[in-house]
Amino acid sequence: MDIQIGDVLTVKKPHPCGSKEFEVLRIGADFKIKCLGCGHVVTVARSKIEKNIRSVSRNEE
C-alpha cells in the first residue's frame, strides 16, 4: 500500500470524537496518525491500520 507522510486516511471505524479522518505523521512498523476531529495522536500497528483504511487522499502541492 502506497501511503506517505501527510496523507489523509479515511478509516472504517470512527475515533471516539466521531471523526473518521486521520493524518499520517510517521510510517514504519507502526503508523503515527493524528485525528483531524480532535487532534489526538495515536500509534497503530501497520497490519491493523492497513485493514481498516477505506480511502487515502493526498495533498498535492
Contact 46, 53 (CB under 8 A): no
One digit per residue, the tens of pLDDT, for the chain of length 61 reads: 789 999 999 999 999 999 999 999 999 999 999 999 999 999 999 999 999 999 999 876 5
Q: Is residue 2 part of a domain?
A: no
Residue 15 counted as domain residue: yes
Residue 60: the pLDDT is 61
Q: Rounded to 5 degrees, what angle do the CA atoms 55, 60, 61 make?
A: 155
- Residue 46 in any domain: the answer is yes
pLDDT for position 2: 85
Domain range enclosing 45: 8-57
In a domain, 44, yes or no: yes
Contact of 15 with 58, CB cutoff 8 Å: no
Distant-in-sequence, close-in-space partners of 14: CB < 8 Å, separation ≥ 6 = 20
- Please give the model's pTM, rounded to 2 decimal places: 0.87
Overall domain count for the chain:
1
